[in-house]
Amino acid sequence: MLLDAASLYFRAFYGVPTSVTSPDGRPVNAVRGFLDMTARLIGAHSPERLVACWDDDWRPAFRVAALPSYKAHRVAAEGGEEVPDELGPQVPVLVDVLAAAGLARVGAPGYEADDVIGTLATRARGPVDVVTGDRDLFQLVDDARGVRILYTARGGINDLDVVDESAVAEKYGIPGRAYADFAVLRGDPSDGLPGVSGVGAKTAAALINAFGSLAAIREAAARTAVPTAPLTAAVLKKLHAAGDYLDAAPAVVAVVTTIDLPPVDGALPRSPADPDALAALAEAHGLQNSVRRLGATLGWAPDVLG
């Protein structure tokens, strides 16, 4: 099980009231929510391994160089990602708690969590569940390898949409492995991805179904002399006008699957990696109940916090 960590801690922050605080009054809603969600996911799905995948770079330079609009609307005035004031200080606490608990956390300099997820999913020798609220990761679904997405957007962690190739096909009307090309054509405002102006989801799906891939669509557009549906004269004009965008966008949308990551075990800890540190963190931040719930799910001794 691969967790899109930022997706989950943002969801926890907005789903758990900021009135949930540490003994000194600081919000810990994102940390508690993340730990509780992780416990529920382990309890419901019984993964053999679990990795919290991290954004070491939420807006990688190679994506911005290709498409400057990529996530530009999320850049804070002082630079960096725009994060709620009450969430930012909680992220280092979560990092410390995961380390003390012994749950694997993996990032890679210059890459997003999506790319870490893509690399680990590609490496895996067995089935993989990816937990995320990010549709970009739909491109990883692979029925033959057992890679599927547990999508949180609809009802949260207790009502996940299981997204496999058939679910992608049913929702978008495209082959299950064609989501990345579909996203390039349609665009995604949440990531600053404009798409081809005037080409919506229906036209994008029709083009993919007719030609199979973005590369084949562009090749057909380049040699079409007599427009016919779905490459109508209007669509051809839009594709030609978007040529520079279509040159750049695939490298932005595509999840990297070849990061040179060290070996990652991810085995669920049978006991905390650092019981004393975990107990101290739980006490300092008022996380005792969440840590105990996580421990109970992992089979830790009941007195793990003393």
Whole-number mean pLDDT of the chain? 96
Cα(17)–Cα(19) distance, integer angstroms: 5
Instruction: State the pLDDT at residue 79.
Output: 86
Nearest residue to 286 via CA among 104, 97, 15: 97
Q: What is the 3-state secondary structure (H, E, C) of 127-195?
A: CEEEEECCHHHHHHCECCCCEEEEECCCCHHHCCEEECHHHHHHHHCCCCCCHHHHHHHHCEHHHCECC
- For residues 43-61, give the mean pLDDT: 97
Query: What does the pLDDT look like over 134-143, one tens digit per residue?
Result: 999 999 999 9
Which CATH architecture is the domain 179-253 placed in? Answer: Orthogonal Bundle (1.10)
Cα(155)–Cα(204) distance, integer angstroms: 27
DSSP 8-class letter at 231: B
Strand partners, 27: 21
- For residues 163-177, give the mean pLDDT: 96
Percentage above 90 pLDDT, the chain? 93
How many CB atoms within 10 Å of residue 207? 27
CATH fold match for the domains 2-173+256-298 and 179-253: no
Strand partners, 231: 228
One-letter amino acid of 191 = D
pLDDT top residue among 153 and 40: 40
- For residues 40-66, give the mean pLDDT: 97
Angle, CA 190 vertex, CA 189 and CA 196 arms, to 5°: 25
- For residues 140-157, give the mean pLDDT: 90
User: What pTM value is reported for the model?
Assistant: 0.96
Instruction: State the pLDDT at residue 159.
Output: 86
Show me where the domains of the chain are located.
2-173+256-298, 179-253
Instruction: State the pLDDT at residue 78.
Output: 86
Instruction: State the pLDDT at residue 155.
Output: 63
Query: What does the pLDDT look like over 230-256, one tens digit per residue?
Result: 999 999 999 999 999 999 999 999 999
Sign of the alpha-carbon dihedral angle for 121, 124, 125, 130: negative
Instruction: State the pLDDT at residue 301.
Output: 92
Phi-psi region of 102 (alpha: psi -120 to 50; beta: other; left: phi over 0): left
- For residues 54-73, give the mean pLDDT: 96
The upper half-sphere exposure of residue 143, i.e. CA atoms within 13 Å in the direction of its Cβ, equals 10
Instruction: Characterize the bridge pairing of strands 161-163 and 147-151.
Output: antiparallel
Which CATH architecture is the domain 2-173+256-298 placed in? Answer: 3-Layer(aba) Sandwich (3.40)
How many CB atoms within 10 Å of residue 24? 8
Q: What is the 3-state secondary structure (H, E, C) of 17-81?
A: CCCCECCCCCECHHHHHHHHHHHHHHHHHCCCECEEECCCCCCCHHHHHHCCCCCHHHECCCCCE
Indicate if the pLDDT at residue 153 is higher than 90.
no
